[in-house]
């Protein structure tokens, strides 16, 4: 129970990613949530970029349950005008795209399984790597990919390692790649930030 409470309180990884996103985004930007899940990241992103008929958000998830939950959350918390600028895609993020503009400012991945859902339906290193490779050409100058990894379980660790291996090889004259990890917290989530220079 105590462990559960401690785990529950650990949200610094989300604060960190949100501060990166906030710093990068402005109203009118085009963004993609590649793993919309329960819609928490989506609502944060929507609030950064949508307004006065500008900006767009494209959402992906392989689970219809996640798409419907996110849709509900967004419709309850946004104006109809802003809600209408969001596109929902019940499909794998392997071939992601932006519905309003080919060039996007930010693509967000929160990896792993749907909190409160089926733990066997999870992102995999194979599909995530395909997705990242297809995501890179979609970024505008100074645009970024944000990947929250969960290496606390075996598949999550392998996925993180595969992303680290791949992103370490990106040409440093074009890409700036950064890795954040809590050193005194075993198996904590980590953030990989890939930015176009
Ligand atoms: C950790 S959850 C995302 C949490 C979410 N961003 C939020 O704020 O609530 C991971 C999600 O990735 C989805 N997913 C797994 N593989 C996927 C894939 N290939 N393409 C798109 N979504 C995927 C899962 O269905 C799950 O909903």
CA angle 173, 175, 180 (to 5 degrees): 130
Note the residue count of the chain: 197
For β-strands 139-149 and 175-181, DSSP reports them as unpaired
Nearest-CA residue for atom 2 of ligand 1: 114
Say whether pLDDT at 2 is over 60: no
Select from 35, 121, 129 the residue to mutate for testing ligand 1; criterion: most ligand atoms less than 8 Å from CB: 35
Q: How many CA atoms lie within 13 A of 127 on its CB side?
A: 19
Q: What is the mean pLDDT of the chain?
A: 93
d(CA 106, CA 108): 6
Give the tens place of pLDDT for each residue, 144-196. Answer: 999 999 999 999 999 999 999 999 999 999 999 999 999 998 889 999 999 99
Give the tens place of pLDDT for each residue, 53-85. Answer: 999 999 999 999 999 999 999 999 999 999 999
């Amino acid at each position: 129970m105590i462990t559960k409470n401690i785990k529950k309180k650990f949200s610094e990884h989300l604060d960190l990613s949100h501060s990166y996103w906030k710093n990068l985004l402005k109203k009118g930007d085009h963004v993609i949530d590649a793993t919309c899940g329960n819609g928490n990241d989506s609502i944060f992103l929507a609030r950064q970029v949508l307004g006065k008929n500008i900006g767009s958000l494209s959402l992906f998830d392989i689970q219809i349950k996640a798409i419907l939950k996110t849709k509900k959350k967004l419709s309850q918390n946004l104006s109809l005008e802003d809600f209408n600028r969001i596109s929902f895609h019940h499909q794998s993020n392997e071939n992601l795209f932006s519905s309003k503009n080919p060039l996007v400012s930010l693509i967000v991945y929160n990896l792993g399984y749907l909190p409160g859902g089926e733990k066997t339906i999870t992102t995999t290193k194979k599909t995530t790597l395909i997705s990242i490779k297809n995501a890179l050409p979609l970024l505008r100058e100074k645009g970024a990919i944000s990947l929250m990894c969960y290496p606390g379980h075996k598949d999550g660790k392998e996925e993180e390692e595969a992303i680290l291996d791949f992103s370490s090889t990106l040409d440093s004259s074009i890409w700036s790649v950064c890795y954040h990890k809590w050193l005194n917290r075993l198996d904590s989530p980590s953030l990989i930030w890939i930015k176009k220079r």
